[in-house]
Amino acid sequence: MSEYFSNIKTGASTIATGMAITLKHFFNAVKRKGDAGIDDADYFKQVDGLCTLQYPREAVPTPAIGRYRLHMDAEDCIGCSQCERACPVECITIETIKVTADDLAACGKTSGGQQKRFWLPVFDIDVAKCMTCGICVSVCPTDCLVHTPVADFSEFDVSNMLYHFGNLTKIEADAKRRKLEEEKAAKEKAAAEAAARGEAPARPAPKPKPAPGPQPDGGKAGE
């Protein structure tokens, strides 16, 4: 019998405690936590009160290393394909065309000053497949592939999530490819001739001199 009453008593008292807590929160609702980011010194300043952020109006800043949307800067890419190999998901597709000797200047240098040796007709990232693991970014030697902190980019059509970062249009790519073939053919011919002349075959081609070739608007064409 005493258990019966003590049960009622503990029931009532614990329910009262719980209700006191929720009521405290109810009256604390006049206070609001600000939109301080985690790297802000007063992130933990506001302990009580509402913690809702009204997202489209206010947003907490995402940290600079936040890994959300992949972005590639074709200006800086040297076409090494390391990211393609490292990606566990295989969501990056790269096609490269070796730059012919006379186009090197047209191809340009990265912002780090490194000479680029490949055209990039195709550099596709299927963001729909990407699992934002960041492995591709970590292997990129020129830091041209980055995760941006932009998270909100939904689409009505899933095919819009295939991002093309290549910097050549199809026609240009064909032209470059043909050019490379020609150069290769010429080189092979030269090598064959050289072999016929009995010279050592496997000498690397001499550094090509910068020659004012046809100026492709390669940097901006990719879309």
Residue 131 vs 185, nearer CB to other proteins: 131
What 3-state DSSP class applies to 92? strand
Residue 101 or residue 162: which is nearer to other proteins going by CB? 162
CB of 40 to other proteins, least distance (A): 9
Cα–Cα distance, 222 to 93 (Å, whole number): 15
**Long-range contacts (CB closer than 8 Å, 24 or more residues apart) made by 155-160:** 158/128
| Position 130 contacts other proteins (CB under 8 A) | yes
Q: Considering only 46-54, 105-113, 114-122, 186-194, which stretch makes contact with other proteins by CB under 8 A? A: 46-54
Residue closer to other proteins by CB (options 10, 115) is 10
Residues 72-91 that bind other proteins (CB under 8 A): 73, 86, 88-90
Instruction: Render 178-192 in DSSP notation, one character per residue.
Output: HHHHHHHHHHHHHHH
Taking the C-alpha atoms of residue 184 and residue 187, their distance in angstroms, rounded to an integer, is: 5
Q: Which residues pair with 32 in a beta bridge?
A: 50
* Conformational region of residue 91, where left means phi above 0, alpha means psi within -120 to 50, and beta covers everything else: alpha
d(CA 86, CA 138): 9
Residue closer to other proteins, measured from CB, 67 or 179? 67
Q: Exactly one of 80, 101, 122, 133 binds other proteins (CB under 8 A); which one?
A: 133
Per-residue mark of binding to other proteins, 5-44 (x: CB under 8 A): --xx-xx--xx-xxx-xxx-xx-xx--------xx-x-xx
Instruction: Give the residue, chosen from 112, 114, 117, 150, that forms a contact with other proteins under the rule CB under 8 A.
Output: 150
> What tokens does 71 get?
């972005």
Of positions 108, 126, 177, 213, contacts other proteins by CB under 8 A: 126
Among 114, 143, 153, 188, binds other proteins (CB under 8 A): 153
